[in-house]
Amino acid sequence: MIKGGLLYLVATPIGNLEDITLRALKVLKNADIILTERKSTVLTLLSRYKVKPRHLLTYREDTHERVVSNVIKALEAGKVVALVSEAGTPVLSDPGLRLVHDVYEHFKDPNRIIVIPGPSAVISAFVGFAVSSHRFVFVGFWGKKAKKILDCEFIRQLAEHKISVVVFLHYSELEALFKFLEMQEKRCKNIRFLLGIAKELTKLYETRWWGKIDDIRKSISDESKRGEFTVVISPMIE
């Protein structure tokens, strides 16, 4: 049963439209308002399953202030509000964190927020590689903050406890990632990295690479260096 007055965070496919749960479709069918990062994406999904949305609103970080008051009013009126991102699970490196925060601050009730689990690029990438542990740290999109986290002390702790790191990055950042990790191998005594790189996850041309930095650099063709990648970084002590 879908109850009103609740904000549903609904995971949607990351590529293959068949990766949608029955529960997610039920919520989207019954939602009074669907908040979506990109309307065209969710409309393609809903059309596939013959679901006609009642009301769509664009929700991104830059539209938050315009949308949040409408969401609060709808929840107060007992409406069903569903948030989806362009792909995967909302909030996880996608819009939604401020909305979840504001809904909680207004109602002071965490039970107002319901998560409908489903596809995740992080999990889909991680479990398909021969890493030595079931544990990982997700640091979001590659950039200055991620590089700052991966200092020698932290990398050594990860290696000692056999914990991998998962990051998202654009193809234009791939070589920069390689060079940074090579630099850390020189800086951090006895540290080496194994990498797992995945692209087009769940799609027809899903591709994975696994191995040392040089091996992957040689095996990825220029044609493959497009789109977005999910990267699993496994530090080891030699």
Q: What is the pLDDT of residues 80-132, one digit of tens each?
A: 999 999 999 999 888 999 999 999 999 999 999 999 999 999 999 999 998 87
Is residue 102 one of the residues assigned to a domain?
Answer: yes
Question: Dihedral of CA 106/139/164/209: which sign?
Answer: positive
Q: What pTM did the predictor assign?
A: 0.89
Asked whether the beta carbons of 207 and 15 are under 8 A apart, the reply is: no
Q: The tokens of 179 are what?
A: 């060079």
For the record, the structure tokens of 21 come out as 């749960």
Q: Does 36 lie in the same domain as 51?
A: yes
Identify whether 171 is part of a domain: yes
Q: What is the mean pLDDT of residues 123-149?
A: 90
40 within a domain of the structure (yes/no): yes
- Residue 34 scores a pLDDT above 70: yes
Q: Are residues 98 and 158 in the same domain?
A: no
The boundaries of the domain holding residue 218 are 122-237
Cα(178)–Cα(140) distance, rounded to whole angstroms? 17
Residues 126 and 232 in one domain: yes
Q: Count how many domains the chain has.
A: 2
**Domain co-membership, 114 together with 127:** no
Residues 114 and 12 reside in one and the same domain: yes
**The 191-199 sheet, strands edge to edge:** 136-141, 164-170, 228-237, 191-199, 207-211
* Residue 229, domain member (yes or no): yes
Q: What CATH code is carried by the domain that includes residue 101?
A: 3.40.1010.10
Evaluate whether residue 98 is within a structural domain: yes
- Tell me: the pLDDT tens digits for 150-198? 999 999 999 999 999 999 999 999 999 999 999 999 999 899 999 999 9
